[in-house]
Amino acid sequence: MTPLASAGDGKRRADPRRRRIVRGILVMLVAAIGNAGCTHDIHLAPAPPLAAATTTTGPWASMIFAARTDSGVVVIDLGWTGADKALRSLLTQLGATTADVRWTFLTHAHRDHIGAWRTVQASTLVLGRDEIPFFTGSARYTGLVPRIGDRLVSYPHPGKGELRLLPIATDTAFVLGRDTLRAFPVPGHTAGSTVYLFRETLFAGDAVNWRVTSGFRGARSEYSDDPKRSRASLASLLRRIDSAGVRWRVLCTAHGKCGLADSTLRARILR
C-alpha cells in the first residue's frame, strides 16, 4: 500500500494534494452510498407499451425515460455508466431505435445524467439555457461533490456544433401531437436545472432527492450549486403548475425514485 505520509523528520506529514484526492474520493463514496442503489416505485412512471424507464448501473442508479409520441420518441435524461446500452434496450422495449428519437430533454448536465449524449445525436436536445456552458465544458459546477469529481476525473463534453441544442429559459410547452410536454426552469441544484411534466409525471431531476432515512426532500446540498435557490425554485414551481391548471399525479427523481404527488409529498419536497 502506498503510504500517505513520509516520516522524514519523525512526524507524519501527508502530501496535501494526495490528501485532498483521498478526501475527495471518500466524500464521493459516502455521497454515493447515500444516493445509492435501487429504484423506488419506478413502476409509477408511465410504462410500456408506450413508455419505459430504466436506470443505469453503478451506485448512482441514474434514470433514463423514453416514450413514443405522435411526434417521435422522446427521451428524458441520459444516465451514466452503461448508458448507451441501457438506452438502446429501453428503445427496443418501445419497438424503436436511436434513429426514432426526435427530442431529448435534460434535467441538468451533471455527469451522471448525460452518459448517452452521443447516442441521441440525431435528436434535438432541450436543456436549460444556463446549463449549456456546463454541458459543453466551458463552465464548472461549484457544488462540493461535482467540484471534487471534476478535479479527479474528467468526462466527455459535446464539441461546438456536435449536437443540436435547444435552450429554454422560461416555462415552455412542447406540443407533441396528443401529448404536451411542459418544461419548467428550477435553477439551484445547477444554474440551468429544468423539470419536465409529461403524462401527469413530473421528472424532477436532482431538484428533488429521496433517501431511505428521510424520504422525499429538496436538492441535496453537497451536490448542489445553490440548494437555497433550488428550494425557492421548487416553491415557485408548485405555484406555477397550479396556476397553469395542469394535473400531475406522480413525481420521479433523476435517480429513479418515484412517488404519488399527494399533499404530503408536495410539502416534503420543500424541506
Q: Which residues would be at the binding site for Zn ion (CB under 5 A)?
A: 110, 206
Tell me the closest approach of the beta carbon of residue 145 to Zn ion, in angstroms.
9
Burial class (CB in 10 A: 0-12, 13-18, 19+), 196: buried
Tell me the closest approach of the beta carbon of residue 256 to Zn ion, in angstroms.
14
Contact 62, 79 (CB under 8 A): yes
When the beta carbons of 91 and 117 are compared against Zn ion, the nearer one is 117
Tell me the closest approach of the beta carbon of residue 171 to Zn ion, in angstroms.
21
How far apart are the C-alpha atoms of 136 and 150, rounded to whole Å? 14
Beta bridge partners of 250: 201, 260
Tell me the closest approach of the beta carbon of residue 165 to Zn ion, in angstroms.
19
Q: What are the DSSP calls for 49-91, one per residue?
A: TTEEEEE-SSTT--EEEEEEETTEEEEE---STTHHHHHHHHH
When the beta carbons of 96 and 252 are compared against Zn ion, the nearer one is 252
Q: Which DSSP symbol is given to 39?
A: -
When the beta carbons of 73 and 143 are compared against Zn ion, the nearer one is 143
When the beta carbons of 33 and 260 are compared against Zn ion, the nearer one is 33
Cell numbers for 208, please give them.
428533488
When the beta carbons of 68 and 113 are compared against Zn ion, the nearer one is 113
Tell me the closest approach of the beta carbon of residue 24 to Zn ion, in angstroms.
17
| Backbone phi, psi, residue 60, to 5° | -85, -25
How far apart are the C-alpha atoms of 110 and 115, rounded to whole Å? 9
CA angle 245, 260, 84 (to 5 degrees): 100
When the beta carbons of 77 and 206 are compared against Zn ion, the nearer one is 206
Q: What are the DSSP calls for 199-214, one per residue?
A: TTEEE-TTSEEEETTT
Tell me the closest approach of the beta carbon of residue 161 to Zn ion, in angstroms.
26
